[in-house]
Structure 1
Amino acid sequence: DIKPANLLLTSEEQIKLSDFGIAKLFGNTHMTADGGILGTADYMSPEQAMGQPATPRCDIYSLGSVLYALLAGRPPFVGKSLPEVIHKLRYDAPYPVRRFAPDTPEALEQLLESLLSKDPQDRVPTAIALAHRLQQIRDALTISTSNGDDSPHGNVTHGNSPHRGSLQPDSTPDFLTQDSALRHLRQADELASRETAAMPSDNIPVQESSASTHSELRTSSTHRESIPAFTQVSPQPASRHVRRESGWQRWGAALASVPLLVGLSAIVYWALRPPTAEQLASRIESQLDDDSPDAILHLESDVNLFLDRFPNDPHRESIEDLSDRIDALKWERRLILRARQMHSATDLSALEQALLNAIRLKDTDLSNAASHFQAIVDVYESTDGDSETAHGVAFARRQLEILNADIHSWTETRLELLHAKMTRAESLATDHPQEAAAIYRGILVLYADAPWAADIVQQARSRLQGLSQHVNSENASDN
């Protein structure tokens, strides 16, 4: 079960894999069942989520998920329930890691996409091949970073490989350019696709019973031996030069590299760190200008990430409200889809039919829709029903809260408009009474049955009557 919680870092900076409970279960045929799901969903491979037997490529996927989490600060897929995570695991593609860590090298992002492929055959085949690709990417980035360094000696080396950068005494340094570094990245991808073996380490135990592993190690050894190395013209002068080199020079060179390593480590940390609470909240809020359901649902990943990582942040309350809204939208869409799949309305439960009717009213009459949702809460809230009934009541209550907020905003806007029309009619009453009367009559026709406009309707009716009496009295005087 490869996941961050099972990876331990020793004081010698070695990674140890712990918790072999699942491995033990798989080794005991009396304790497992075909088709069962074992493992942590956040880091589980798609084939394990479907109950298929675990293979080495399942571990490759899990390791890719761990690498993704190290960069993004979250697993490839997040959700509020195990079924939701497993559904995403089986059918959805993870967000590119550079969405959360923008400065991740493109070659590393492509490698993660390979590790997280749904089809096991599209993944890097073995852990040794994966180590080889990571080493190649690191070497290419190191070469690119050190491009243009000057060396006081005629011998320039990178790492422990004598064939990289080693120069003969009469040769001149040939530093790799940015283009050649990019070629190294491409070669890493091409080489990994041709080889399944690379870089055996003394710290990595090799099982003698694995024929494929021995084959990979032999291929790697042959590959290293076939790489040409530069030959020294005169070994003895070189050895005398090494003996003459004083200890303080070696220490000075080592100490001089410390600031560079610290600086590079800081750059990598700040470049690859996941977003802060403030950054994530700002990113969510900046996308709320589009209040459409699709735009709101698109925020689900960021919202879940915020709630998972920042449980005590001041923005949490507003983010939780947004999460509730997302849940309501998803529940509504599932209900509508279920209704479309039914042969008739009678196939729906009474609660589902009532909810569907209330949902349809939202597009035409907010107040009436709110009344329907309130009635659903009143009728079904005290019912000792199943979990589906509880979900339906919770959905109705959330819809009621949203509608009441929308109705308040909608009402305020229209009341401002009607007050402006009433003011306009009053200004016309003296010199243009017919125009003023027309405005009052229009308000009565349009809003006589609107509860929210009852006060203005009453004022319009009263002023229309007063205006009519004034006009009648003037007509009587003229006669």
Structure 2
Amino acid sequence: MEAQQLGPYVLIKRLGRGGMGAVYEAEHQKTGEHVAVKVLASHLADDLGLKERFDAEIQTLKPLRSPGIVQLIAYGEDDGQPYFAMELVHGQSLERIIRGGRIFTLEEVVGLSIEIARSLKVAHDHGIIHRDLKPANLLVPDDPHQANAGVKLADFGIAKLFGATSQTAHGSIVGTAEFMAPEQAAGKPLDARADLYTLGLVMFTMIAGKPPFRGSQLTEIITKQLREAPPRVSSFYHDIPEELDGLIDGLLAKDPAKRPASALAVGRRLTAIRDLLTKLKEPLQDSNADGPPSLIITSEAESTAPTNHDRSSSLTKVTPENKTPQASPSSIDLLAETKEGTHHVSSNALENGLDATTELPRLAPEPPKATPSAEQNIEQPADVPSAPGSYLPLERRPTKQAVSSANNRTASDVNEDPNSTVVDTQPARRFVTVEEFDRAAHQKNLRHRWQRIRIDTLVTAVTVLLVIGIAYWIIRPQTADELFQTITLETQKAQPDLRRIRLEIDQFLTRYPGDERAAVVGSLQQQLRVNILEAKMRRRVLGSRDVPAIERDYRAALAREPESPSAALLAMQAVRTVYAKHRYLSTEDFTAEDKQTWLSLIERQITRLEQTALKERVEDLERAENVLDEASQQYVEAIESLDPETAQRGIGQSRLLLQSVIETYGDRPHTTEIVTAAKDLLKTIDTAKTDNSITQGQQE
């Protein structure tokens, strides 16, 4: 009989077995590569929850590419039985080495811990918590150089993605009691620091030879994990450096917040401790030039009895044939070390390398003959073996499927036997290597990249076309209607600013001088020039530069405005009269447009000053008349007064008011009449005063 086969792998011998399945050493038919094949037990293959957990381990291993992690090679399903192939590590588990009595030096503990921390960092960087880090899941290769690692992390069967929905019930406990974080024992949510706690337990166990918390009952161990402080390593190992003792104590903190922040931080501290130990052990290193001692035990020492509740070494009894083992998802360790059961196999199996302890995945029993129908005509191979234990080649294996659709069969076609199966000639088989998965992922990335390139190219092309269109719209010559509409919109505003449409005005007059609206636009252009010149005159200071005569006269006339708008108006009108003829303007300094702009500005100022001058005249006349009337009234009252002193004081006040009118309004042409009346009254007062003085002198 040929050896049992899953996909392209021929199973050679079983390496381990648990309630959920087994792990076999297998050989690839074509390449001859030896791998470890993990198989879900056939009687559990229909359990959706266990298949999801099994598939979750495959998905967990896919992205983990590190020499310190057992690598996934391929995965698939054969006749409804899922399996996956892993890197085969030739060596022993750290648990077996510890139980064999191996005494680790501090350098070995630190060196292995650095590699474990590096592997945890890779897992944590991919958002994966191992949740079952223990010596049984740490494999030490016989040849570290060939394996590219001194220790390899295995069994991600209960690993969990950060924040992912757990496949176990909330509050349930998954893991090994002696190597379990307090928050994991309490059923609380976990993060990467739970793996750091178990790393501290592994380091403690390598130094002490046993974990810090042990007991005969599961509840006792969990209670210690939750409440009891672990002993300091320095309490029994007095030569341990304070840095290493403090690191282990920090890793074993009950509160995750008090542990190191990440596996990277732990690895850096361990590297510093390794350097410290190297300096302390330099004389010993010089004498040992043959390389580090191997961690593999070559003696046949029997391992000590395990703790009853350590699932990493618990013994699994052989289930009788008439009973089906009840597997609990929360308590199954597929790679757990087990006692080898006794099974009867044929001599052919022994000849193919399978011993009495090898348990092979069961083949499907011979399917009953199915009745062909109009929709499905099933042809049975002529050489299908009838014995359920015989070997069936991979390409000839049928698939067990429970077909309940009435479209495929009728009630009369179904065997009343509850153990009967229906044969489907399309076998449910799949086989995917990690290399194929990576190649498919690479091709998908290439397709995505080319898709992104095409999208980016399209977006770039659209953007360039849009920019070109906008640029053309901006720089294209506008029509006369478009320019005039823009100019009109600005002039219709409450406070128009012709500077905003200066370009449109110049373009309109340059491109469309014959347009009937050119005169209107030309007046706006002249108005804009006048505005600019006026603003320039307000900002410019004369200084020592040469000033044109018209500018000097303009400034002189405008300078009189604060004193008297009427005087400024007369001066500005005089400037207009002088420069009304262009011949008084130098043709070297001014163009015809400049001359016209100056005259327009002067005209604007005259228009503005006329309004202020009119207001000034009205106010001056009213004020001067009032003062003159008051002076006349005081003079009359003084003459009529019988009291000489009162009369004298009144005359003096009258003279003062008259002199103020003459002084204030004497040079203003619009107050000439009032100023003349004030002078006449003042002359009368002075004459009367002189006559009174003569009369008084004669009387004396």
Greater share of residues in strand: 2
Q: TM-score, normalised by structure 1?
A: 0.31
Greater relative contact order (Cα 8 A, min sep 6): structure 1 or 2?
Answer: 2
TM-score, structure 2 as length reference: 0.22
Q: Which has the higher helix share?
A: 1
Pair member with larger Rg: 2
